[in-house]
Structure 1
């Protein structure tokens, strides 16, 4: 089973990397960018029988810092040939 874990900073948490990207976009002439937030995408292949509680535990214990980050789990359908 393939999973995608999207990890983003919680609202109100400063994002210096996002701010730097926003300033760089403005410097390159891209007007109208009001805010930039940077996150991460983690793709996992897990055994088909892996339950949601185990996946959630992986996220809470290692993949996301739940003090400052939120995460969202997406189950990816395998492409059919």
Structure 2
């Protein structure tokens, strides 16, 4: 078994209201210098050796992310 991490974030051209709310809250907390925040999802999968990179990409592209508005990265 191996651990695979899939991170999913909104594409840069998609508005991220939650990220913008965090930027605003940081300013109210006195934290300055953060100009942008993008929120996303983090998945950790335990997979067998028979699950190859193509299968992982298919899982991420069809189940974990919406490819119209989100990008994903996969790390073994």
Same fold (TM over 0.5): yes
Counterparts of 2:60 and 2:37, CA distance in 1: 24
Report the equivalent of 2:66. Answer: 65
Offset at 1:32? 1.2
Counterparts of 2:56 and 2:44, CA distance in 1: 12
For the residue of structure 1 that corresponds to 2:44, the secondary structure is strand
Offset at 1:51? 1.0
Report the equivalent of 1:56. Answer: 57
Report the equivalent of 2:7. Answer: 6
Root-mean-square deviation (CA, aligned residues, Å) is 0.7
Q: How many residues align structurally?
A: 75
**Superposition misfits of 4+ residues, deviation over 2 angstroms:** none
User: For residues 1-81 of structure 1, what are the structure 2 equivalents within 5 Å?
Assistant: 1-75=2-76
For the residue of structure 1 that corresponds to 2:56, the secondary structure is helix
Q: Unaligned stretches of 5+ in structure 1?
A: 76-81
For the residue of structure 1 that corresponds to 2:48, the secondary structure is coil
Q: Unaligned stretches of 5+ in structure 2?
A: none
